[in-house]
Amino acid sequence: MLTFIYVGIIINVLRYLNRPINTIVSMNYVDDMDFPAVTICNYNQWRASMVDPELTDIIFLMSSSNTNYPNETTLEYLKAKEDEIDEKIDIFNMTHQIEDMLLECKWNYIETCTVNDFTRVLTDWGVCYTLNNPQNLSEVRRVKQPGNNFGLSMRLSIEQNEYILSDNTGAGLRILVHQQGQLPLLKSLGFSVSPGFESYVGMRNTKVENLEHPYKSNCRKQPLKYAQYYTVQACNYECYVDYVIEKCGCRDYRMPGDVRRCSPYESITCINNASKDFIHEDWQCDCPTACTANMYDIRVSSTYWPSTYVTNLYLTPRGISESEARKNYLDVNIYFEELSFEKVQQIPAYDIGTLLGDIGGYMGLLCGMSLTTMFEFVDFLLCAAVKKWKRR
C-alpha cells in the first residue's frame, strides 16, 4: 500500500509541475461596448504637388524596400547634398492631410465628427490619422446598438491625382481597427478599401487572458517603448526598429522614437540593407504571448459606389463626374455586428489544492491515513525518542 501511495504521489507531483492548462471560451452579451480606435492611411505617402521633381526618384528609393543601389553618380550627389536634401523632405507636411481627405464623418448616425477628432500618428505605413484614441480612456466613444447605423461612417477622398511612384502600386486606403493605446501596425494587421466602393466593416470583439510563468503560455505584461500595451506584433516591430537603429545609428522616417531620423543617403545605403539582414539573419526577438489581448475580427464587404442616384443628387451639383468619383472617393462604415464579446481564458488545470486532495485520497484509500494520522506518528516517534534518551 505504501508503494502505491509513493507512485501515486510522484505521478501527481509531476503532473502539477508540468502546469497543465484548461481553456474556457464564453460568449458575453452586454448593453454597450467601447468602440475601437480607427487608424487610416493613404496608400500614397507623398503628394506630387509637394515634391520637388528632382527629389521624386530619391523619395522612391527611400520608401522602397528594394535594396538595389542607384548608380554611383546618384549616390555621390546624395552624399554631397545630404543636408540640403534632408531639409527639403518633411514627411508630415508632404503627405496627404486629413483636412483634404475627410469629406464627411458621422458617428452613431446623427453625431458629426470632424478633422479635430483625428490625431496624426507615425506608423510602419508612414503618416496616418487615428480616431477615438484619447489619452483619457474615460473619453473613449461607446456604442449601444449593433449595425452600420450605430458606428462610424466616413466619406473620403484619396486624391489620386497626387500619387507618385512608390512601393504601393494600388490606390486606396489602409485601415486598422485596434485597441486604444496599441501601436498601429498597418502593414501586418490592416485591411484595404478601394475608391469607387462603399465598404462595410463588421467587427466582432475577442478578449484573451493567458497565464504567466511557470505555465507554458509564459505570457508577458510589461509595456513597450513605443506602445502603451504589449502585443506580440508590436514587440517584434520594436525588435526590428532597435536592430535598424543599432546598425545604422538612425531611424527610418516611418519608425517611432527619439533617435535621429536618417538622411536620404543613410536611408538608401543602410536601412534597406539592414531590413534585408534582419530577415536573412533570422534575428531572434524575445516576444512571448501577451497576458491580455483585445482583438477585433473584421469582415469586409463592398458594393459599387456611387449609384446613379447619388451621382445625380450629390456629385453632379458639386461638379464631380462619376469617373472622378470612381477614382478618388469611397465610403466606409465601421460597426459592431452584435454587442457581445468572446472571452478566451486560460485557467490552471491542476493546482496545488487539487494536488493535495489527490494525495489525501491516496493516503485514505490505501492506508486509512490522514494528515492528522501522520502527525500522530511523528508525535509518537518523538515521544519514544525522548523517553529512550531519558532512560539512558
- Grouping H, G, I as helix, E, B as strand and the rest as coil, residue 263 is coil
Dist CA 79 CA 110 (whole Å): 55
Residue 66 in this model has a pLDDT that exceeds 60? no
Distance CA 373, CA 364 (A): 10
- 77: three-class secondary structure by DSSP: helix
Percent of the chain past pLDDT 70, that is, above it, reads 96
Q: Which of 368, 324, 331, 17 is nearest to 175 (CA)?
A: 331
363 in the same domain as 255:
no
- Residue matched to cell numbers 456604442: 143
Same domain, yes or no: 272 and 359:
no
**C-alpha cell of 238?**
520594436
Answer yes or no: do 12 and 27 share one domain. no
Collapsing DSSP to helix, strand or coil, 106 comes out as strand
Does residue 42 sit in helix, strand or coil? Answer: strand
d(CA 167, CA 236): 22
CATH number of the domain residue 238 falls in: 2.60.470.10
Q: Quick check: 269 pLDDT over 60?
A: yes
Q: Which domain holds residue 380?
A: 2-20+350-391
Indicate the pLDDT class of residue 32, thresholds 50, 70 and 90. very high
Radius of gyration, alpha carbons of the chain: 30
Q: Are residues 52 and 131 in the same domain?
A: yes
Q: What is the DSSP string of 152-181?
A: EEEEEE--GGG--S-S--S-SEEEEEE-TT
For position 110, what pLDDT does the model report?
Answer: 83
Based on the fold, state whether residues 343 and 366 are members of the same structural domain: no
What CATH number is attached to the domain comprising 376?
Answer: 1.10.287.770
**Residue 12: which of 347, 373, 346, 360 has the closest Cα?**
360
- pLDDT tens digits, one per residue of 175-186: 999 999 899 999
The span from the CA of 123 to the CA of 41, in Å, is: 9
108 and 169 share a domain? yes
326 and 360 both lie in a single domain: no
SS3 212: coil
d(CA 194, CA 173): 7
Q: Please check whether residues 249 and 373 belong to one and the same domain.
A: no
Task: Kindly tell me the burial class for residue 53, based on how many C-beta atoms sit within 10 Å of its own C-beta (0-12, 13-18, 19 or more).
Answer: exposed
The number of domains in the chain is 2
d(CA 129, CA 176): 10
Q: Residue 13 in 3-state DSSP? A: helix
Residue 197, φ and ψ in degrees, nearest 5: -135, 150
- For residue range 94-130, what is the model confidence (pLDDT) as tens digits? 999 999 999 999 998 889 999 999 999 999 998 999 9
Query: 55 or 178, which is more confident?
Result: 178
Average pLDDT estimate for 183-206:
94
Residue 363 and residue 286 share a domain: no
What phi, psi does 21 have (nearest 5°)? Answer: -125, 140
What is the reported pTM?
0.85
How far is CA 128 from each of CA 57, 118, 165, rounded to the nearest angstrom? 23, 10, 19
Say whether both 239 and 386 belong to one domain. Answer: no
322 in the same domain as 189: yes
Question: Looking at the structure, do residues 112 and 16 belong to the same domain, yes or no?
Answer: no
The pLDDT confidence band at residue 372, using thresholds 50, 70 and 90, is confident
Residue 14: its H or E element: helix 2-17
